[in-house]
Structure formats: structure tokens, C-alpha cells
Amino acid sequence: MNKGSKKNIFVASVVAFSVCAIFYGFQSKDYNFLKNKNFEIFHSLYNELDMLYVDTIDPDKSIKNAIDGMLMQLDPYTVYYTEDDNEELEMMTKGTYGGIGSVIVKNGDYIAISEPYKGNPAYNVGLKAGDLILSIDNEDLKGKSVSYVSDKLRGEAGSKFKIVVQRPGTEKKLDFEIERKSIQLPIVPYYGIVADSVGYIQISTFSGEPYPLVRDAFMELKSKGINSLIIDLRGNGGGLLDQAVKIANLFIQKDREIVSMKGKTSYSCQSYKTTVNPVDTLIPVAVMVDGQSASASEILAGAFQDLDRGVIVGECTFGKGLVQNIRPLPYEASLKLTVAKYYTPSGRCIQALDYSHRNADGSVTRVPDSLTTEYRTAAGRIVRDGGGIKPDVEIEPEKFSNNLLFYLVTENKIFNYATDYCLKHDSIPSPEEFTISDADYEEFKKIVTSSDFKYDRQSEKFLKSLREVAEFEGYTESAKSEFEALEKKLSHNLEHDLEHFKKDIVNYINIEIVKRYYYQEGGIIQQLKNDKELDRTVEVLKNKDEYKRLLTAVADDKEK
């Protein structure tokens, strides 16, 4: 560790220590004295370092490290943002950023356009998936990282830059001039009818303004005659609390509490209720969640569950019961800090990690089941606090066990095959109907097997480890024949593995190809065709007896 690093850690440690001290129940005058005392110590310490330390101190870096060290003792959601971080903060709160509206990936020596969002600058000027970005404003980008190129593509809305790309199948390099726009990340990337009269709305974030988009999507689906609705919050990490309340109000009666907050100040102690007459209080609703559904997603799911307005399906949610506000600081800096805990209508807080009681090593543990408390839904069903929203219908998460598919994706074998496929096909059927043929897959297999494609086989690794343990314990000779037989069965056979995992690989190829023609919406449609969790959710909604039973308290619970 160099001296500069030691210096920064020392400064951070001093501030962290001084701030931690003030959180232990002192009398008011003792608290104020200690706060002022430690501020004075820190100020003097920094001046001593600045005047006498052998190397020059960078004030921005040192103070930033000190602040970060202090905030690390609190929770991961309390974060300091400098003036340079304002774009990141805006993307977090509004779901917008200045850029071209495209996903990019590493592909060989260059970065490639992976998925241009329809209607955004990349799409409008004609950039396509597979285009290799050779340069931006005459800077050669060979060997640059994804994050480096991403920073080059982003910038102030209205600013322009020149980009040169190499398009597969085209010898001549293509030049484009692009004007950056304020890019709104897709909030409702897809809605439609996924089964007989079953509506579906996917909400990817609660940043920005998802409420009007969800409202309009629902009204359109109602006009098409849906008799039940799925709200998909899987992977939705949250956003703005008020947007979750407004969306809940589409389905829940006026003047019902959706969420409450409790903090130190009167501003952070509030109750949020539905304020207008709902659109539909009768249509059966299922809310899909997973381990990445957090914050505002859990507020919405918790309201549906506690008020018995809908069935929750999927995996237990993330368990984030903390509320953050943005506070302005001098010189256009900002502080995002945790100001309260939130509580669902039954009165429970679903926060899973207790940051106020850390282990001796500084780590944080989940609230154990033995310390959780029972609460009641409006109908008397038992729900518990701590650890997120537990679904009414739990679905075991599907493990990603296809090691071969992982390497086909990371090595861009599927991405490049999709690019070549598009060069040969001007159009394809709709996402609902499209799939590559067996002949197409045979062609893909030949491309992979004839290349220098290598992938890591876990079974061979474990066999090697087992041999080493057997040798150490003296079993090598006695188990020799068994090891040889097992080694033969587990021998690397790419042809066999490509056929064995054909279904998963074909599904991924289909998604990648469909996105080239029908963009993000088409990719989602293709993905939902093989979504087992969605199929189970549709079953729940179609089975009226099961739906009613799931929302009704059992006799034993009523007696309690």
C-alpha cells in the first residue's frame, strides 16, 4: 500500500470514528460537545496533513474518501454524490441520462452495438446490432473497455459527436453524426395479452413516471376484454414511492393506506393513501416478484398482499424497507440518505438486514425467522415482517446450470451468429411465431465446433480435485478403474453438449435474433414464450377456486 492510500484511509478512519461516536446515547449537551470537538479535531488534522505531509494532498479525493468512510458505517443506500456524479443521480431518480439509447457489449478488440432502443438516437441514425464501434470523434477505440466507450457515448443532451462503425457484411466503414438526447430508460417495456383474456404489464422501474404508462396500458388491455391481470415486477429494483402508491390506486379503493413512513422528523413520518377513485377493484390480479424486486416494488406488492387485493407469485423479494431522500449540498453536491423505514398496510416493515446492529467484523446479517413478528392482512391472513415479501405462491428459482450456454454467450458465439443470420434474412415471422429451424441449429453447431471455442467444464474440475483428495488419502490405486470409467463418461464432448442443451441454446438464439427485428418488445415476447413462472401465474388466475383460497384466511388463523 502506498503512502497516499494510507493517508486517505487514515483520514476516512478519523471521520468514521468521530461520527460513529455520536450515535451512542449521550445527553444533548454531551452530544453537541462531542460533535463540535470531533469536527475541530478533523479540521486541525487535515490542516496538519496539508501543511506538513511529504506529498501533496488532493483535497477532493481525500475529503471524498473521508465522507465515504463515514457513510460506510451506516447503510449502502446513504451515498454522497459530487457535482461530477449528477448524471448518475439523475438516472437513478428520473430514469434518464444524456446519450444515444443503446446497449453495448465487448466483441473481440472492439465494443459493439448490442441493442439500440427503438425511437432513440442510435436507432434513428441507423446504427444496428453487431456494428463495431471503431472510433468516436477520431479517437481509436480498439482495446477500450465497455465502461470507457459508454462514457464517450454519454454526455449533455443536445451535444453532437461523430462515430465510425464497421458493419458485418459491409467492407466500407460507416460514418454517423449523432446528437445526444435525454434518454428515458424503458419503464413499461411490454404489455399485452399472454393467454386467453389474461393481461400482462411488465414494469422495469419506478423511477421517472411509470404511473401514466401503467394506467394507459391497463385501460388498453381492458378495452380488449381481459378478465384478469398480471403485473410483472421481477428484476424491478424500485424507484419513487409515490409512483407505487398511484399505481396501487388503480386497483384499490380511495382512502386506503398503501404505505407509511417513520423517521426522526415530521417530514419523514407520513402516511400515503389512495386519493382518487380506482379504475377497477374487482379484476383478479397476480403480482410476479423475485429476489431482485425491491423498495417501491415491495411497497406495491405489499399493498396488494396486505389488502388482499391480489396474489403474489414467485420468489421472496429483496427485503428493502428503507426510504431515501435527496438532500442538496454546497457546490452542487448531493446526499442521498436514509430518512425512514416504511411499513405496509398491515404494519410490518420488510427490511431484511439490520444495519444498526453489525457483527464484530462489520458485516450485517439477515433478521432471523425466530425474531420476525406476525401481522394480519385485511382478511386475517398471516404475514410476517423482516426478509421481504413472501409470495402467496412460491416458485423455486430456476438454477442456471447450463455452463455451455454461459460460455456461448460470453464468447459472443450466439451474438455473432444472430448478426450473420440477419444478413441472410430481410425479415422473420412475428415474435410469437418465430423460431430457428433444425437446419439453422445444425449450422450454428458447425460454426461453434469448427472454431477454437473452449469452455470450462465443472465436472472435469471436480474430478481432478477428487483425484487429488483420493491420492492424498491413499485411495488412488484401489479406485483406479472407477476413476478411469468416470473420466471416460465425463470426457469433453462439445458435439454431445450442444445437442444435450439444444432447447436452452435455441431459446437464447431466438431471443437474440428477434431483438434485431422487433427490438426490446420482441425480445420480451420471445422470452415469455418459455417462462415457467409466467405459466404458473396464468394457472393461478384461471383457477378461480385457487385464487379465492389464496386470498382467504384459513380457519386456524381466524381463531388466532
Q: Which residues are catalytic?
A: 295, 306, 320
Give the C-alpha separation, 102 to 17, whole Å.
44
Number of H helices, E strands in the chain: 19, 21
CA 407 – CA 168 distance, rounded (Å): 22
Q: Tell which residue, 343, 275, 344, 341, has the closest CA to residue 309.
A: 344
User: How many CA atoms, within 13 angstroms, populate the side-chain half-sphere of residue 160?
Assistant: 6
Map residue 158 onto helix, strand or coil: coil
From 97, 108, 150, select the one nearest 130 (Cα to Cα): 108
CA pair distance 312, 303, nearest whole angstrom:
10
Decide if 202 contacts 235 (C-beta within 8 A): no
Give the span between the Cα atoms of 98 and 103, in whole angstroms: 14
Cell of 525: 415476447
Give the span between the Cα atoms of 506 and 408, in whole angstroms. Answer: 12
Contacts of 359 (CB under 8 A, 6+ apart): 365
Strands (E), 399-499: none
